[in-house]
Structure 1
Amino acid sequence: MSKEITKPQQFCKVQTQWADDESAQFNQEQKDLLASLYEGEISKLSQGKIVTGRVIKADNDGVLVDIGFKSYGLIPPYEFSKLDLQKITPGSDIEVMLEDLENVDGNVSLSYEQAKAMRAWDTIMKLFEEGKPVEGIVTHKVKGGLSVDIGIPAFLPGSQVDLQRVADFDQFVGQPITAYIIKVNKKRGNVIISRRKFLNELRSESRKKILGTLSENQIIQGIVKNITNYGVFIDIGGVDGLLHITDMTWGRIAHPSELVRIGDKITVKVLSFDKDNEKISLGMKQLTENPWDKVAEGLTLGSKVKGKISSITDYGFFVEIQKGVEGLVHISEISWTDRIDNLHKHFKPGDEIEAVIVSIDKDNRRMSLSIKQLQDNPWKQVSDRFKVGQIVKGPITNITDFGVFIQLMPGIDGLVHISDLSWTEHIAHPADVFKRGQEVEAVILGIDEQNKRVSLGIKQLTPDPWATIELSYPVGSTVEGEVSKIINFGAFVKLPNGIEGLVHISELSDQNVEKVEDVLKVGQKRQFRVIKISKEDHKLGLSLKTNDFVPEKTKEKTSSAPKRGPVKTKSEEMAAKPKSLLQIELEKHAARQKTAADEQANEDKE
């Protein structure tokens, strides 16, 4: 900004003449008048007083004010809010506090902020004592609430901003509000206000009017105040009514927010009204006719219908076949053969589908639909095409830890349980032996059409080697075997026909053995003697001992009922119980000791 320069020719020359006569002297009366006028003006401009001045200009440097003194006062801009500055114009009047008639720079020192605070405190204390509300402007957010200009900064706690919890305080910044003063500390300059208290008072007056005129079946308008999972709270003029989710639409919705939003103005019907407890139930769907009353006569059991998926749940999905009329397709009614665990992978809301009506209840507004019944049940063909004992071949469709699934026909799988994979192999997991897509043969062991199950077996393709174990490896015979696995108490040995037998650590040598690895190694082939056979338990006992062997009788399963004999003693019952391998070995050792003693006695006699 350029400055105006005063040129010498702009000055004028003034001639002064001082009179020496007595006419220039003031008499006493004039002196007294001048003194009184001076004292009167000075008393008005005393330090600490509030005076009214005229705004000369207002800019970024501040507000220049004329209070009728010899110089102007400049008030710094930080003492004014944005709203204050918008109201101030050159020529307008303004109240200021006179801090100093003449500061170090020879200028008048003024303060708008102190004058405003002094006036405000008078008003605040008066309103607080009389219990009246105060008006102010929200200036900005602070920790825990809002700062409100009511002449001085006042604190509005977040819990006192509205009747309901407020998540976004920014919406109030710059807005005028009315609130009650709930706490004042003039010494510290603190004022706490409550807008909630003021709104509650207004609400209470409005509630009385509404409750006096409200009646059932009355149609009214309200504003959506809050949305929950179970419904919507509607403000109907100071009173809250509940619009339950089941009363929002004749159709089905997952959440009320699908139809309304907070702040929406909607029309509702009063369903019930409890004046004593001030509970109001509202309905929105009741404003229209029940579509189930007009369900077409063509919607009967077995008829085919088309519609769009309106919502998906864990147990099925709902299909809207008419406006407000929905049917449920249960997850079990989607496919005859496919195992569907996650409906969201196969369907989505809005998909159009065709289904068959399997049940309908117009009174309770319920309808069950089925997709799979659009086609014939393939399980009805299973009993016709397959028989127990039949050998089938197909690809492996799935492998689990309990077995493998083999496809018999499109949509029909049979299960080979892990126990039916091999007579002799110990399979930890089917995936160690089989792969998806691999073609395999199996024998049908059973068909359960009702439960949709087909049991298969792979090991049944070959004879059970345990059925002829006594002929192949009789007790006492010697057989070659390969050590397949070593454990703490012995070793497993695989025989030529695939059967595995166990040689206990006590049967490894005539001498005491501490570790199995000292005698046998995995993969090593040795000659073993068969000492025990149990066809029923699929167990075969082997031995490496070279001393005399006393064979055990092979266990046989008898179907005849036991003969009733005399009551056995406790010692006889214990003797009749199955003996452990350790007991057998101890008895053998005792027998050998007795034989050796008898032979020594005979030699002594001779």
Structure 2
Amino acid sequence: MEELTHSSSEETKTTAWVDEVFFKGRKVKRSELPEEKQRMTQEAQDLANLYSKLVMEFREGEIVQGKIVSISDKEISIDIGFKSEGTVARDEFANLADVKIGDDVEVFLDRVEDHSGQLALSKRKADFMKTWERIQSIHEKQDVTTGNIQRRIKGGFVVNVMGVEAFLPGSQIDVHPVRDFDALVGRDMDFRIVKLNDARKNIVVSRKVIIEEGLKGVREKILSELQVGDVMEGTAKNITDFGVFVDLGGVDGLLHITDLSWGRVSHPSEVVQLDQKLTVKVLDYDRERQRISVGLKQLQAHPWDGVDDRYPVGAKVLGKVVSIARYGAFVELEKGLEGLVHISEMSWTQHVKHPSAMLSVGDEIEVVILNIDKEGRKISLGMKQVDADPWENLEQKYAPGSRHTGKVRDLVPFGAFVELEDGIDGLVHISDLSWTKRVRHPGEILQKGEEVEIVVLGFDRNERRIALGLKQAQSNPWDEFESLYSVGSQTAGKVIRVMDKGVIVELPREVEGFVPASQLKRLTKGSKQTVSVGDEISLEVIEFDRENKKIILAAQSPDGVENDEEIDSETRDQYIVGSDSPPAGSEPTETQ
């Protein structure tokens, strides 16, 4: 048979017949062919048209009707009326035991011809498409559907809706906070499809919107009848740092932390627990914003009502320390009723530098009501008043002139505090430390913790002060010094301090004397530096003042020449043994 081929384009390769054909190596029109050849080409055209029509009846990506013609171990053959049969894997049939030859079945036409030229069908895809169409219809109509909560995932749950997985956000489960998410897994619930992505086949469902719709009528009724001052029953549905949200039967009210109790509340969970039944009072209602404020403490008596009767001045009561400040401690007598124990009211005897040295938050203590200011809502409390004032009985024990033994508790620039008994201190002034030495600091005479014998010089019960003397515990040596260091007597002295206006010397019997600069000239012989600390010099007493405890001396020259220059009166008057400050202009020089 002579060669005969058809010429066609890519677009009409199997579906259109053309007028031009190749005959004997050249392209000719069909009308130019011999009659026999024209009949053959017409038959080929009819067959092509029939195949094209058959293919066009089956569109890829659609569901088609078919009949089961055979069942094997691995697959099921289905005739959809195409030139060849298609196969579907057995596992795509849910109820395989009910499947039999001759059954009509809907399948998804995946491809008319796959890579092996076979018809590609899918039962699973057909079932999914039919289910998806039902889901689309439910979403469009906003109908309620039932689903099963399968498992927890980040942010919510996976729900099985008619065999398709949907996402249930955690915030869309209920109008109330969910306490136990795990308890929901495996439960069947009603849902509404709130979001559908057809391209990605994603579904988002909500149970909360169904509940809210059911509460809508109740909510509107409550809001229309709500009045400030109403007392309502509710349930604590959520607890935050600033308060509690209370479900009032369809609407929420905020119970602020300040309205929970008349007393101090650090966190609402101290007063209220989740799901606790509460009776609250409506404090405010913003109709525009539909916000309700409720209170719990407002249904209880105000703690300041009748406070005078419950806490009369002078009464001893128990309280709990709730706060500590540098100036005192706040003590709670009952919820909403606090008083202040000032730092000065904490102890009769101890020197309290900070309340935390005696108290801690949470301590339960006994206090005395000192004063109640109802207008200012302030209560003054005392701790020390619980016990008798020990100073009431100390005046006889520590009468002036009495001798006692004490322990040096502290040294300060102006003296030393000596503890006479537990909590009772007296002050030894620096001028009462020594009869004979000019003391610049108490540390020159005493040390902390040292046991000393002292004499009470004065007792002031109102100011709670006891004046003590250390030197008074010994006899006054100045009676003896008056004869030992009479004017004109000679003695030796050791320089212990050099000053601009003279030097301090230590004389026999550990008494100090002063040599003015003008009385050192007989030793200088014109030089500026006369003596140094530690030098031994010969001296003559030129003035003795027993009352002011002053000994003024003059240096004796080696050649015996006397110095008749008068002593500066200011220099003479400023030197007193036992003084706590040096004479003006008499600061120590670098030679010390």
Q: TM-score, normalised by structure 2?
A: 0.51
Change (3 A) 1:89 1:70: closer
Deviations 1:67-108 (A, max 9, x none): 965353999xxxxxxxxxxxx97769999995998679x998
- Does residue 481 in structure 1 map to residue 494 in structure 2? yes
| CA distance in 1: counterparts of 2:363 and 2:106, whole angstroms | 67
- Does residue 386 in structure 1 map to residue 401 in structure 2? no
| CA distance in 1: counterparts of 2:502 and 2:76, whole angstroms | 114
Q: Which runs of 5+ in 1 are unaligned?
A: 1-27, 54-63, 76-87, 559-577, 583-606
Q: Following TM superposition, by how much is the alpha carbon of 1:216 offset from its aligned partner in structure 2, in angstroms?
A: 1.8
Q: Following TM superposition, by how much is the alpha carbon of 1:394 offset from its aligned partner in structure 2, in angstroms?
A: 1.9
More strand by share: 2
| CA distance in 2: counterparts of 1:473 and 1:453, whole angstroms | 39
Q: Do the aligned residues in 2 keep the contact of 1:531 with 1:543 (CA within 8 Å)?
A: no
CA RMSD of superposed structures (Å): 7.1
- Does residue 395 in structure 1 map to residue 395 in structure 2? no
Aligned-partner residue type, residue 442 of structure 1: I
Residue in 2 that maps onto 1:57:
none
SS at match of 1:381: helix
Q: Do the aligned residues in 2 keep the contact of 1:244 with 1:283 (CA within 8 Å)?
A: no
Aligned-partner residue type, residue 441 of structure 2: I
Counterpart pick for 1:527 among 532, 537, 542: 537
Residue in 1 that maps onto 2:82:
none
- Does residue 311 in structure 1 map to residue 322 in structure 2? yes
Residue in 2 that maps onto 1:213:
225
Aligned-partner residue type, residue 480 of structure 1: G
Q: Do the aligned residues in 1 keep the contact of 2:195 with 2:203 (CA within 8 Å)?
A: yes
Deviations 1:246-304 (A, max 9, x none): x4334554554421356655331123445467665432123234566577957533344
- Does residue 495 in structure 1 map to residue 530 in structure 2? no
| Relative contact order, higher structure (CA 8 A, sep 6+) | 2
SS at match of 1:373: helix
- Does residue 427 in structure 1 map to residue 402 in structure 2? no
Deviations 1:442-483 (A, max 9, x none): 344554433433343435656699xx99x9699999853255
Change (3 A) 1:493 1:250: same
| CA distance in 1: counterparts of 2:77 and 2:504, whole angstroms | 118
| CA distance in 2: counterparts of 1:90 and 1:444, whole angstroms | 112
Residue in 1 that maps onto 2:89:
72
Q: Following TM superposition, by how much is the alpha carbon of 1:219 offset from its aligned partner in structure 2, in angstroms?
A: 1.6
SS at match of 1:249: coil
Q: Do the aligned residues in 2 keep the contact of 1:475 with 1:530 (CA within 8 Å)?
A: yes
Q: Following TM superposition, by how much is the alpha carbon of 1:414 offset from its aligned partner in structure 2, in angstroms?
A: 1.7
Q: Do the aligned residues in 1 keep the contact of 2:368 with 2:381 (CA within 8 Å)?
A: yes
Deviations 1:560-592 (A, max 9, x none): xxxxxxxxxxxxxxxxxx99799xxxxxxxxxx
Deviations 1:24-57 (A, max 9, x none): xxxx9xx99x97998589x46x4xx47799xxxx
Aligned-partner residue type, residue 553 of structure 1: D
Residue in 2 that maps onto 1:553:
568
Q: Following TM superposition, by how much is the alpha carbon of 1:313 offset from its aligned partner in structure 2, in angstroms?
A: 3.4
Deviations 1:314-345 (A, max 9, x none): 32243547x87766555544432234434585
SS at match of 1:302: coil
Q: Map 1:506-545 to 2 at 5 A.
A: 524-527=534-537
- Does residue 441 in structure 1 map to residue 453 in structure 2? yes
Identity of aligned residues (%): 25
Aligned-partner residue type, residue 72 of structure 1: A
Deviations 1:5-37 (A, max 9, x none): xxxxxxxxxxxxxxxxxxxxxxx9xx99x9799
Task: Give the number of the structure whose alpha-carbon radius of gyration is greater.
Answer: 2
Aligned-partner residue type, residue 329 of structure 2: G
Q: Following TM superposition, by how much is the alpha carbon of 1:411 offset from its aligned partner in structure 2, in angstroms?
A: 3.4
Change (3 A) 1:428 1:308: closer
Residue in 1 that maps onto 2:313:
301
Aligned-partner residue type, residue 454 of structure 2: A
Deviations 1:140-176 (A, max 9, x none): 44xxxx58879999999x9x999xxx9x9x9999899
Q: Which runs of 5+ in 2 are unaligned?
A: 1-43, 66-73, 79-85, 99-104, 574-582, 588-592
- Does residue 337 in structure 1 map to residue 349 in structure 2? yes
Residue in 1 that maps onto 2:370:
358
Change (3 A) 1:285 1:529: same
Q: Do the aligned residues in 2 keep the contact of 1:139 with 1:149 (CA within 8 Å)?
A: yes
Aligned-partner residue type, residue 300 of structure 1: P
Residue in 1 that maps onto 2:280:
268
Q: Do the aligned residues in 2 keep the contact of 1:302 with 1:356 (CA within 8 Å)?
A: yes
SS at match of 2:447: coil
Residue in 1 that maps onto 2:236:
223
Residue in 1 that maps onto 2:295:
283
Q: Do the aligned residues in 1 keep the contact of 2:219 with 2:251 (CA within 8 Å)?
A: yes
Change (3 A) 1:380 1:472: same
SS at match of 1:70: strand
SS at match of 1:335: coil
Aligned-partner residue type, residue 438 of structure 2: T
Residue in 2 that maps onto 1:23:
none
Counterpart pick for 1:243 among 256, 272, 275: 256
SS at match of 2:570: coil
- Does residue 373 in structure 1 map to residue 373 in structure 2? no
Q: Do the aligned residues in 2 keep the contact of 1:98 with 1:111 (CA within 8 Å)?
A: no
| CA distance in 1: counterparts of 2:366 and 2:63, whole angstroms | 86
SS at match of 2:568: coil
Q: Do the aligned residues in 1 keep the contact of 2:166 with 2:205 (CA within 8 Å)?
A: no
Deviations 1:103-150 (A, max 9, x none): 79x99899999x999x999999x999x9xxxx9999644xxxx58879
| CA distance in 2: counterparts of 1:67 and 1:503, whole angstroms | 136
Residue in 2 that maps onto 1:349:
362
SS at match of 1:555: helix
Deviations 1:192-243 (A, max 9, x none): 9999x999x99999987654332122122253645447x6565655555353
Change (3 A) 1:263 1:137: farther
Q: Following TM superposition, by how much is the alpha carbon of 1:553 offset from its aligned partner in structure 2, in angstroms?
A: 1.5
| CA distance in 1: counterparts of 2:494 and 2:419, whole angstroms | 38
Q: Map 1:55-70 to 2 at 5 A.
A: 69-70=86-87
Aligned-partner residue type, residue 453 of structure 1: R
Aligned-partner residue type, residue 228 of structure 2: E
| CA distance in 2: counterparts of 1:403 and 1:580, whole angstroms | 23
- Does residue 413 in structure 1 map to residue 430 in structure 2? no
Q: TM-score, normalised by structure 1?
A: 0.50
| CA distance in 2: counterparts of 1:543 and 1:101, whole angstroms | 137
| CA distance in 1: counterparts of 2:282 and 2:526, whole angstroms | 97
| CA distance in 2: counterparts of 1:475 and 1:554, whole angstroms | 19
SS at match of 1:286: helix
How many residues are treated as equivalent by the alignment? 461
Q: Do the aligned residues in 1 keep the contact of 2:108 with 2:121 (CA within 8 Å)?
A: no
